[in-house]
Amino acid sequence: MLLSHLLHLEGIASVVLERRSREALEKTVRAGVLEHGTAELLKEVGVGERMEREGSVHSGIELRFGGRGHRIDFADLTDGLSITIYGQQEVVKDLIQARLETDGQILFEAEAASLHDLDTVSPRVHFQNDGEEEEISCDFVAGCDGFFGVCRDGIPENARTEYERTYPFAWFGILVEGPPSTEELIYTLHDRGFSLVSTRNPEIQRLYFQCDPADKVENWPDERIWDELSTRLATHDGWELADGNIFQKDIVQMRSFVCEPMQYGKLFLAGDAAHIVPPTGAKGMNLAVADIQVLAHALAEFYRSGDTGLLDAYSETCLHRVWRAQRFSWWMTSMLHRFDRSDPFQLKVQQAELGYVTSSRAAATTIAENYVGAALG
Residues 282-311 as x/- pattern, contact with ligand DHB by CB under 6 A: x-----------------------------
Q: Which of 86, 264, 314, 371 is catalytic?
A: 371
Within residues 309-368, the interface with ligand DHB by CB under 6 A covers: none
User: 105 and 127 in contact (C-beta within 8 Å)?
Assistant: no
List, in order, residues 6 or more apart from 120 with CB less than 8 Å away.
Answer: 265, 266
C-alpha–C-alpha distance, residues 346 and 351, integer Å: 9
Q: Which of 93, 266, 283, 337 is catalytic?
A: 283
**Part in contact with ligand DHB (CB under 6 A); list of ranges 17-25, 30-38, 51-59, 362-370:** 30-38
Smaller CB separation from ligand DHB, 201 or 230: 201
Smaller CB separation from ligand DHB, 127 or 371: 371
Judge whether 58 counts as a catalytic residue. Answer: yes
Interface residue with ligand DHB among 14, 280, 326, 365 (CB under 6 A) is: 280
Judge whether 93 counts as a catalytic residue. Answer: no
Smaller CB separation from ligand DHB, 152 or 206: 206
Strands 124-129 and 193-199: what pairing?
Answer: unpaired
The closest of 21, 226, 26 to 111, measured between CA atoms, is 21
**Part in contact with ligand DHB (CB under 6 A); list of ranges 209-217, 278-286, 299-307, 311-319:** 278-286
**Largest pairwise CA distance in the chain:** 66
32 is a contact residue toward ligand DHB (CB under 6 A): yes
List, in order, residues 6 or more apart from 52 with CB less than 8 Å away.
Answer: 43
Judge whether 167 counts as a catalytic residue. Answer: no
Least distance from C-beta 356 to ligand DHB, angstroms?
20
Judge whether 278 counts as a catalytic residue. Answer: no
263 is a contact residue toward ligand DHB (CB under 6 A): no
**Part in contact with ligand DHB (CB under 6 A); list of ranges 44-52, 128-136, 257-265, 277-285:** 277-285
C-alpha–C-alpha distance, residues 208 and 30, integer Å: 12
Within residues 195-214, the interface with ligand DHB by CB under 6 A covers: 196, 198, 206
User: 230 and 241 in contact (C-beta within 8 Å)?
Assistant: yes
Within residues 166-195, the interface with ligand DHB by CB under 6 A covers: 185
Least distance from C-beta 280 to ligand DHB, angstroms?
5
**Part in contact with ligand DHB (CB under 6 A); list of ranges 9-17, 31-39, 133-141, 267-275:** 31-39
Judge whether 190 counts as a catalytic residue. Answer: no
Q: Length of the chain in residues, anyone?
A: 377
**Integer angstrom CA distances of residue 103 from 7, 93, 127, 281:** 13, 15, 21, 36
List, in order, residues 6 or more apart from 153 with CB less than 8 Å away.
Answer: none
**Part in contact with ligand DHB (CB under 6 A); list of ranges 14-22, 147-155, 212-220, 275-283:** 275-283
C-alpha–C-alpha distance, residues 273 and 258, integer Å: 9
Torsion angle defined by CA atoms of residues 43, 45, 49 and 55, in that order, rounded to the nearest 10 degrees = -50
Per DSSP, the three-state class of 66 is coil
Instruction: Classify burial at 122, counting beta carbons within 10 Å of its beta carbon; exposed 0-12, middle 13-18, buried 19 or more.
Output: exposed
DSSP string, 92-133: HHHHHHHHHHTT-EEETTEEEEEEE-TTSSS-EEEEEETTEE
Least distance from C-beta 71 to ligand DHB, angstroms?
16
Smaller CB separation from ligand DHB, 198 or 256: 198
Residues 105-144 as x/- pattern, contact with ligand DHB by CB under 6 A: ----------------------------------------
> Which residues are tagged catalytic?
58, 187, 279, 283, 371
Q: Which residues bind ligand DHB (CB under 6 A)?
A: 31-33, 185, 196, 198, 206, 279-282
